[in-house]
């Protein structure tokens, strides 16, 4: 069993239903528990990254000593099935960061040194396949490719709803003022030309009845009530192509 998603283990994330205690900032997030064969893929990914952590051989790093944090063994068998839901694990891996291409149990070896962009690829394919509805929860929408795909979906009559922070994060504020981002934001704003598009944030009243913003940190999407993704990747160039 494993858990995947955007949620951090902090007070601002682990809060009561309704986010009504505003002694601290509140964040809306989502994660999912995985059991079965897909959990084995997450296990394999964790070992792959742990054994080649970037700080492992750097002087004065934060990596535990070899006795406390030796190399982990890759999984050798696939977890037993836990249901009949089809699930697939996707990831972003920056090229040049990892070299051990040990295959997962029952799978084929992939050249991990070349990187992997399957989170981006799944978003693009899913949006392009949408026939009725697209619902996205994300901390930021900063990828021109995805905005273009959403624009095309709206044009063919698909209802698109996006839940994102009502108060933009600092990265988006800085980008908004950068002349190089002008074309991107013009296309982003053009989504609003369609009546079948909705962009929204969420809030909750505090004890005094004042409406407070709830920061959306989730990274989830639902398409046609047939496909869903829950993860830790923002819809943005950095998360799609740069991070791991």
Question: Tell me: the pLDDT tens digits for 33-83?
Answer: 999 999 999 999 999 998 988 777 777 766 677 667 778 999 999 999 999
Between 8 and 182, where is the model more confident?
182
Model pLDDT, residue 204 = 84
Report whether 219 contacts 142 (CB < 8 A). Answer: no
- What is the predicted pLDDT for the residue at 170? 84
Q: In the Cβ-directed half-sphere of 65, how many Cα atoms lie within 13 Å? A: 1
Give the pLDDT score at 167. Answer: 87
Residue 73 C-beta-side C-alpha neighbours within 13 Å: 3
Residue 212 CA to residue 21 CA, distance in Å, equals 11
With 70 as the cut, is the pLDDT of residue 119 above it? Answer: yes
Instruction: Quote the CA–CA distance of 214 and 198 in Å, as a whole number.
Output: 18
Chain-centroid distance of CA 242 in Å reads 13
Q: DSSP code of 241?
A: I
To the nearest whole number, what is the mean pLDDT of the chain?
Answer: 89
Q: pLDDT tens digit string along 1-27?
A: 888 888 887 776 776 677 766 555 678
Pairwise CA distance, residues 115 & 119, whole Å: 12
């Amino acid at each position: 069993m494993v858990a995947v998603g955007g949620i951090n283990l902090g007070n601002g994330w682990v809060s009561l239903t309704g986010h009504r205690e505003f002694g601290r900032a509140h964040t809306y997030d989502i994660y999912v528990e995985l059991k079965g064969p897909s959990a084995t893929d997450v296990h394999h990914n964790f070992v792959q990254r742990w054994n080649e952590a970037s700080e492992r051989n750097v002087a004065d790093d934060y990596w535990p000593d070899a006795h406390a944090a030796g190399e982990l063994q890759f999984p050798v068998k696939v977890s037993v099935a836990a249901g009949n839901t089809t699930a697939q694990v996707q990831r972003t891996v920056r090229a040049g960061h990892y070299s051990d291409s040990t295959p997962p149990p029952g799978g084929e070896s992939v050249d991990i040194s070349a990187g992997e962009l399957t989170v981006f690829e799944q978003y693009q394919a899913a949006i392009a396949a949408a026939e009725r509805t697209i619902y996205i929860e994300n901390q930021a929408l900063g990828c021109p490719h995805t905005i273009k795909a959403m624009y095309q979906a709206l044009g063919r009559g698909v209802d698109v709803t996006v839940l994102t922070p009502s108060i933009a994060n600092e990265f988006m504020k800085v980008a908004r003022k950068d002349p190089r981002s002008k074309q991107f934001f013009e296309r982003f704003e053009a989504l609003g030309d369609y009546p079948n598009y909705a962009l929204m944030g969420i809030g909750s009243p505090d004890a005094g009845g004042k409406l407070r913003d709830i920061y959306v940190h989730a990274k989830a999407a639902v398409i046609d009530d047939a496909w869903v993704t829950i993860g830790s990747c923002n819809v943005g160039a950095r998360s799609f192509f740069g991070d791991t």
